[in-house]
A and B are shown apart, each in its own frame.
Chain A
Amino acid sequence: MGKTVFVTVGTTSFDDLISCVSAKETVRILKGLGYNRLILQIGRGTIEPAPCCTSDFLLEFFRYKDSLVEDIKSADLVISHAGAGSCLETLGEGKPLIVVINEQLMSNHQIELAKQLYKDGHLYYCTCSTIGNTLQTMNLSALKNFSPGKPENFAAFLDKVVGMK
């Protein structure tokens, strides 16, 4: 049984990510690393990768699902856009994560979170043009565990400020 890569672009679209991950060169690198399934969530993107199913490699894509939890859980590596939801969900499941920054977004603030989480050692980040390099140089076992956020602290704070007993 080989390993699975799951790619997600979130609610909107990120065509550059889909085309660079499904490019022949990237697929070759992935195969070399022992991955043999590539599942892509492409959102409302205009680029649809050609599905391929050979004896040693499977590529599938879909646009949306109610929940991506199952896909994340069954993946061995997640490649995601920098959206907080996708990042936190993936890290929450304890899966290795590579965040790909979308350089075309106005005032690209999403890079902040990815950089900080990279600084804290929870993930790798790159752009579409450097993903091949990142895949080849990354060391997934060096990534640190990510402790989940504590919404209960928020609840306690809210109870206090509204005067709830």
Chain B
Amino acid sequence: MGAECHVLETFLRAGHMCVTSLADYWELGTGCGPLLEWMEQLWLLVVLAVLCLLALLLALRVWLVLRQGVECRPGRKGCVSLMVVAGSGGHTTEILRLLSSLSKSYSPTHYVLAETDKMSEDKIHLFENTRTSGVYKSTYSIHRIPRSREVRQSWSSSFLTTLQSMLYSFPLTARLQPDLVLCNGPGTCVPACFSAFLLGVFGIKKIIIIYVESICRVETLSLSGRLLYYISDYFIVQWPQLQTKYPKSIYLGRIV
């Protein structure tokens, strides 16, 4: 925020100098005070208009990226690369159940885990090894980013740790450039999905974001779900009660 204020101040000062030097150039006397004031106000208006325009353009871009998801069909090229956000315990079990039914065209799979999560890694290796059969060899990789939120961590400090986690997840997502991000609610999926979304906003790559709310959410969405409801391209819930509450969501029955 401080930096933005500084930029604005510099703009206004430049406007003031510009106006006064123009006044000097036209050799306007001290009698033209009201005119100078008017020109300064005009400058301020121009600055504000430019800022509004930028905000509007950004909003338009965000809206376009959100709409793009529905038309994006990466499957037409034959294979779809996945970024899967696995979380502690139950989340990983659930997401592996979902992956188990996908065809071999979904490859390679890049798993993103919270740094402190050892158990998920073992589960993933076990899962991928059982998937490898005959000629078919599954290709996958595991990446780690700092945990964005521990169980029981307060909302305000979660915000800071999520930002910190973004510093790692954004370059990672930009490097992997998956076609699709699949996640089901661990804290780590918030920075991962926002990174994927930003790549779309910056025009680097439109990544489809698919959020599957955990089966343990029957009446209310998780914090991650509430945040990602707005930026996900497909938001899937597993209980009809939730579908009624969140009209954008999709209900396919129990899928894990």
Instruction: Please list the residues of chain A having a beta carbon within 8 angstroms of any beta carbon in chain B.
Output: 10-12, 64, 66-67, 82-86, 88-89, 105-106, 109-110, 112-113, 115-116, 149-155, 157-159, 161-165
Contact = CB atoms under 8 A, between A and B. Distances in A.
B220 A162 contact: no
A85 B90 contact: yes
Contacts of A153: 252-253, 255
A115 B101 contact: no
B217 A66 contact: no
B89 A11 contact: yes
Tier of interface size on chain B: 35 or more
23 contacts: A11-B88, A64-B119, A67-B126, A83-B89, A84-B215, A84-B216, A85-B94, A86-B90, A88-B215, A109-B217, A112-B217, A113-B216, A149-B97, A149-B238, A150-B254, A151-B100, A154-B212, A155-B101, A158-B102, A159-B75, A162-B72, A162-B75, A162-B179
Contacts of B252: 153-154, 157
A75 to B, nearest CB: 18
B223 to A, nearest CB: 8
Interface of B: 72-76, 80, 88-90, 92-94, 97-98, 100-103, 105-106, 119, 122-123, 126, 151-152, 179-180, 208, 210, 212, 214-220, 222, 234, 236, 238-239, 250, 252-256
Nearest to A82: B216
A165 B77 CA distance: 10
Contacts of A12: 88-89, 151
A158 B216 contact: no
Given A66-B122, A153-B252, A158-B106, 10 more contacts: A11-B90, A12-B89, A84-B256, A85-B90, A112-B220, A113-B215, A113-B218, A151-B101, A153-B255, A157-B236
B46 to A, nearest CB: 45
B122 A83 contact: no
Given A151-B255, A161-B208, A106 B151 contact: yes
Main secondary structure of the interface of A (DSSP, over half): helix
A165 B152 contact: no
Contact of B75 (A113, A151, A155, A163): A163
A150 B253 contact: yes
Given A12-B89, A112-B216, A112-B219, A162 B255 contact: no
A84 B94 contact: yes
A156 B218 CA distance: 23
B218 A164 contact: no
Given A83-B89, A89-B93, A161-B234, A154 B75 contact: no
A73 B80 CA distance: 36
